Amino acid sequence: MIPTQVITISRHIMEQERKYPEASGEFSGLLSDITLAVKLIARDVRKAGLVNILGLTGSENVHGERVTKLDEYANRVLYDILGRTGHLCVLASEEAHSILTIPEGYPHGKYVFLFDPLDGSSNIDANATIGTIFSVQKRISAGGPGTLEDCLQQGSRQVCAGYIVYGSSTMFVYTTGHGVHGFTYDPTCGEFLLSHEDIKIPEKGKYYSVNEGNYHSWADDTKKYIDWLKETDKATGRPYGLRYIGSLVADVHRTLLYGGIFLYPGSVKKPEGKLRLLYEASPLAMVIEQAGGEATDGKTRILDIIPKDLHQRTPLIIGGKDEVGTAQRFLNT
Ligand code: FDP
């Protein structure tokens, strides 16, 4: 017997589209394509050690980081599937220098897809949680092949954003601007089933998440904030506990569910920080804001930043409303 409350991603998006008459319905097609690509990636993440797919390819990506085979595989799967379905006009990946055009002979659609195929890749060999992050924008160019300008849109214009965590289970979390919904993969029926409806981030939490090994490279205001989190004060729930996986998607997912704050601040020498605006900060900011939280670079709301470059980096401070508010007071003094 199939319980009536079992809701797959496809059914969920169709029901959402019925609620919002402005939706064209085309979007559900794109979302099921994303779901298919993700199932293939999840399958290979799960059997990585078995098929000898672990390890490095020997090449470096545009950021000078070593590229693992699984990164390449995830990148290819997403491009091969999504580039051919007619929903997209252009794609951009953290792993590629320039925009990715639609393969010859395939139609151009009205959406733009930006993605980090495998975030947290330095954790792959250790079997720790990794993920895929994606962002969908509507094209601004008139028609035909999409352009760089289509990709360089403000985060506040995203029509959908989400991520998939390949952890103790595989979970798909997305928003189309009407709340945040999480689906857990059930391998026995091959479907993502609604497990976390309308997720809300707690305004206050008890964890902070940051690579504190970088402490001595930070500006004084950042140091002061982290020092403050570690002081003892019952009334404000301090000291906070530290949790840091080093896999952004996993750290932000935990922050979404348990509350608290995640930071990847800039340093004195590298004020722009490490994380990428288009593939990491913007989509995660949309998810967290839709769950009632906030995301900032310390001064500007992440979703208000106008991207100038495909691989632009930004500091990221993201989490519950109260938490980010407090962090900002330290960072703006
Ligand atoms: P990774 O280098 O393993 O791909 O932006 C990539 C990222 O991981 C994030 O997922 C993660 O939060 C961050 O870098 C970790 O950086 P540090 O090792 O400097 O803490």
**What pLDDT is attached to residue 250?**
97
User: Which helix (H) or strand (E) element contains residue 194?
Assistant: strand 191-196
Atom of ligand 1 nearest to the CA of 245: 12
Per-residue tokens: 299: 């001064």
Mean pLDDT computed over 3-23: 78
pLDDT of residue 19 exceeding 80, the answer is no
| Mean pLDDT of all residues in 163-192 | 95
Question: In a mutational test of the pocket of ligand 1, which residue from 121, 122, 129, 269 has the highest number of ligand atoms less than 8 Å from its CB?
Answer: 122
Whether residue 59 is predicted with pLDDT greater than 80 in this model: the reply is: no
pLDDT at position 24 is: 64
Q: What's the predicted TM-score (pTM) here?
A: 0.94
The CA distance from 295 to 102, in Å, is 32
Q: Whose CA is nearest to atom 19 of ligand 1?
A: 211
Residue 169 is classified by DSSP as: S
265 lines ligand 1 (CB under 6 A): no
- Mean of the per-residue pLDDT values of the chain: 92
Greater pLDDT, 71 or 4: 71
Query: Residue 150: is its pLDDT beyond 60?
Result: yes
- If you ran DSSP here, which 8-state letter would residue 5 be given? T
| 235 Cα–ligand 1 center, Å | 33
DSSP, residue by residue, 106-150: S---SEEEEEEEEETGGGGGGT--EEEEEEEEE--S-SSS--HHH
> CB of 12 closer than 6 A to ligand 1?
no
Least confident piece of the model among 40-54, 180-194, 240-254, 257-271: 40-54
Best residue among 56, 119, 214, 279 to mutate for probing ligand 1's pocket (most ligand atoms within 8 Å of CB) is 119
Q: Tokens 């007071």 belong to which residue? A: 329
Q: Is 284 in the pocket of ligand 1 (CB under 6 A)?
A: no
- Whether ligand 1 lies within 6 angstroms of the CB of 256 is answered as no
Q: Using one digit for the tens of pLDDT, what is the confidence trace for 287-298?
A: 999 999 999 999
Q: How confident is residue 124, by pLDDT bands cut at 50, 70 and 90? A: confident
pLDDT band at 54 (very low <50, low <70, confident <90, very high): low
Q: What is the predicted pLDDT for the residue at 277?
A: 98
DSSP calls for 282-324:
HHHHHHHHHTT-EEESSSSBGGG----STT-B--EEEE-HHHH
- Residue 39 pLDDT more than 80? yes
To the nearest whole percent, how much of the chain has pLDDT over 70? 91
Distance (Å) from CA 138 to ligand 1 centroid = 28
